[in-house]
C-alpha cells in the first residue's frame, strides 16, 4: 500500500508562504461525481487556493442553467472525455467513479502522484490514521486511530472505519457501512449500504 499520510490535509505553501494553488479535475460525471463536486465546492469556502478546473466524462452529466446559459455540474464545466486527462499535465485528479476496476485502470495510466484526496468537512479522520492518495472520505464518515485506507478508495457518507481496521486499494465502502476494529477489507472489494464487517474479520469478496 503506497500512502502519503493525510497528503491533502497538509497545506502546500509557495515561496511567499501563501498556500500554493491546487488545480483539481474530477474524473466522472454521474451521481457520485456530483457528490464529489458538491464536496469540493464546500471545501473551497475555506481553501481559496483550491481550484476545480472541471470534470471529465465520456458522457456529460446533467447541466444546470444560469441566465439561460449552461453552467456545468454545479458550475463546474465538462472538459471532455476521460482520455483527455493527458491535456492537463499539471492538474491533480480525483476519481469520482464508483466502479473499483475503472478507478484502478485510470490510476494505472496517470500514476499515484497525480491523485487528489478529498475529505468532507463533516468527516472525522484521526490524526493517527493513514489515508492514501486519491481517497474520498464522505460526509459524516469516520476513520479512527491506527486505521488505514488504501489508494483511491471511497469511504462514503456515514461509513465507519474503526480503530486498527485496514481498507485496501480501490475499495468502496457504501454509505452507512461499518468496518469494526481490526477488520480488513481486501483490494477491490465493495461493501453495500449498511454492511458490517465484524471485529478482526477479513473480507475478500464484495458483500
Catalytic site residue from 32, 78, 163, 172: 163
CA 58, CA 30: separation in Å to the nearest integer? 11
* Of the candidates 133, 153, 131, 135, the residue with the CA atom closest to the CA atom of residue 144: 131
- H/E run at residue 109: helix 100-110
Decide if 188 contacts 205 (C-beta within 8 A).
no
Q: Which residues contact 47 (CB under 8 A, 6 or more apart)?
A: 19
Query: Does the annotation count 163 as an active-site position?
Result: yes
Alpha-carbon radius of gyration of the chain: 17
Which residues are identified as catalytic? 163
Amino acid at each position: 500500500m503506497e500512502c502519503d499520510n493525510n497528503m491533502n490535509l497538509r497545506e502546500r505553501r509557495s515561496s511567499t508562504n501563501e498556500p500554493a494553488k491546487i488545480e483539481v479535475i474530477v474524473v466522472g460525471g454521474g451521481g457520485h461525481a456530483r457528490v464529489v463536486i458538491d464536496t469540493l465546492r464546500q471545501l473551497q469556502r475555506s481553501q481559496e487556493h483550491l481550484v476545480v478546473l472541471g470534470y471529465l466524462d465520456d458522457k456529460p452529466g446533467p447541466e444546470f442553467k444560469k441566465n439561460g446559459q449552461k453552467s456545468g455540474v454545479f458550475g463546474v464545466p465538462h472538459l471532455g472525455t476521460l482520455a483527455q486527462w493527458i491535456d492537463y499535465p499539471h492538474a491533480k485528479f480525483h476519481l469520482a467513479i464508483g466502479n473499483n476496476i475503472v478507478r484502478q485502470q485510470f490510476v494505472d495510466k496517470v500514476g499515484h502522484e497525480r491523485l487528489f484526496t478529498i475529505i468532507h468537512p463533516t468527516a472525522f479522520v484521526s490524526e493517527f490514521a493513514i489515508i492514501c492518495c486519491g481517497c474520498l472520505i464522505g460526509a459524516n464518515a469516520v476513520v479512527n486511530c491506527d486505521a488505514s485506507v488504501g489508494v483511491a478508495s471511497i469511504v462514503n457518507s456515514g461509513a465507519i472505519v474503526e480503530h486498527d481496521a485496514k481498507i485496501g486499494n480501490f475499495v468502496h465502502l457504501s454509505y452507512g457501512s461499518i468496518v469494526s476494529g481490526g477488520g480488513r477489507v481486501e483490494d477491490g472489494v465493495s461493501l453495500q449500504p449498511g454492511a458490517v464487517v465484524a471485529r478482526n474479520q477479513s473480507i475478500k469478496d464484495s458483500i
